[in-house]
Amino acid sequence: MPSENLFSDGLYPKAIMTRHTLTVLGSTGSIGVSTLDVVARHPEKFKIFALAGHTQTVKLAEQCAAFCPEYAVVADAVHAAELERLLAAKNCQTEVLYGAQALIDIASADAVDGVMCAVVGAAGLPSALAAAQKGKTIYLANKETLVVSGALFMETAAANGARVLPVDSEHNAVFQVLPQGFQRGRLNDYGIDSIVLTASGGPFLDTDLASFDGITPAQAVKHPNWSMGRKISVDSATMMNKGLELIEAHWLFGCPPERLETVIHPQSVIHSMVRYRDGSVLAQMGNPDMRTPIAYCLGLPERIESGVCALDFGKLSALTFREPDFNRFPCLKLAYDAMHAGGSAPCVLNAANEEAVAAFLDGKIRYTDIARVVAHCLEQGFSDGLNDVESLLILDKETREAARQRIAKAV
């Protein structure tokens, strides 16, 4: 039987004696940039095999010149030609590939030890699944992989001996304070009552609800604590990001939905917590910088330098908490509902949200319409569960079309 002990010492990477070969999917995004920053601090430990940057050819060319990967992947032939021109000017020998299959190829290549999965959205699912099928160490920053295909992905990882290490700051925080040798789904055996994910509350935590219809994309992407991409920043503002993370935690840790909590913590210093049966609450703390969880995962079982400044307790005026308000954050309620419904509901939730957020950023709908579009798609019905990636991607496509039709009607 495949081991469910994905987090135990037995399945941790051993101390790095030779250079660990990495593929970074989404290298030009915020997670990818932070990953390469950590890698650059430890050239004796890590070697970059491949980078994938979708359409940001200028930034990707700079990364290739700095890290000399064997391969670089972009979205299509047009961007591939542009990247080749930029690399030739830098006298860089990196081979350029493009398309979805190329992402799968660089994630599953025999030469690769670990894969940073940081492609945003459901587009990151096939390559992450391919890495799991090949038994790679997976540094999982793409939450949609578990939201869309939690059961399929975790079963595939277990069957092939893949290590799944959570990079999201909240799940990484939980990972750091779980008991040594923790096994998925066995919370009672370790005296765990619940897992608590913290959320900053985003830029509109204290904004008058009456003004929400007038929120602009420029306002929504200004996160008070974290530096993130535009889509994730909007998700943080609506707290859909936290809802997706709840679903992700459900699959990562085998935690029942009723034992998952969310608390708003505006300072973003405590990144998540675990409640224990004896009344103890263990928390992981640190400055809000993604290099900390990235370095923790890349360095296991060691603690390696990340470049993050030490937390200065003398400058912390207060650590505050409050319960989330579903009237202010209806997307969080929709995510809770989808998690409890199970089956294919999370896949529908994610696809509808991606389309709604994109439409909001393009000025096609209002901020408050995001939740309405998602709710509409969840009301359309969905199967009890899908167990192959092709069916999940078909459902994803169908949901997106339903969302676009709703958006076209101006909600």
Nearest residue to 64 via CA among 41, 42, 104, 32: 32
Q: Is 3.90.550.10 the CATH number for 9-176?
A: no
Beta strand 270-276 pairing with 192-199: antiparallel
What are the counts of helices (DSSP H) followed by strands (DSSP E) for the chain?
15, 11
Specify which residues 285 forms β-bridges with. Answer: 270
Model pTM? 0.88
The span from the CA of 219 to the CA of 225, in Å, is: 14
What number does CATH give the domain 182-287+315-408?
Answer: 1.10.1740.10
Q: How far apart are CA 380 and CA 397, in angstroms?
A: 14
Residues of the chain with CATH 1.10.1740.10: 182-287+315-408
For residues 120 and 103, give the distance between their C-alpha atoms in angstroms, rounded to a whole number: 13
Tens-binned pLDDT, residue by residue, of the chain (411 aa): 334 444 443 344 445 457 899 999 999 999 999 999 999 999 999 999 999 999 999 999 999 999 999 999 999 999 999 999 999 999 999 999 999 999 999 999 999 999 999 998 778 889 999 999 999 999 999 888 999 899 999 999 999 999 999 999 999 999 999 998 899 999 999 999 999 999 999 999 999 999 999 999 999 988 766 556 788 889 999 999 999 999 999 999 999 999 999 999 999 999 999 999 999 999 999 998 999 999 999 999 999 999 999 999 998 888 999 999 999 999 999 999 999 999 889 999 999 999 999 999 999 999 999 999 999 999 987 666 667 888 888 899 999 999 999 999 876
Q: Is the dihedral of CA 324, 29, 37, 294 positive or negative?
A: positive
* pLDDT of res. 120: 80
**Is the distance from CB of 36 to CB of 214 less than 8 angstroms?**
no
Using DSSP, state whether 344 is helix, strand or coil: coil
C-alpha R_g of the chain: 21
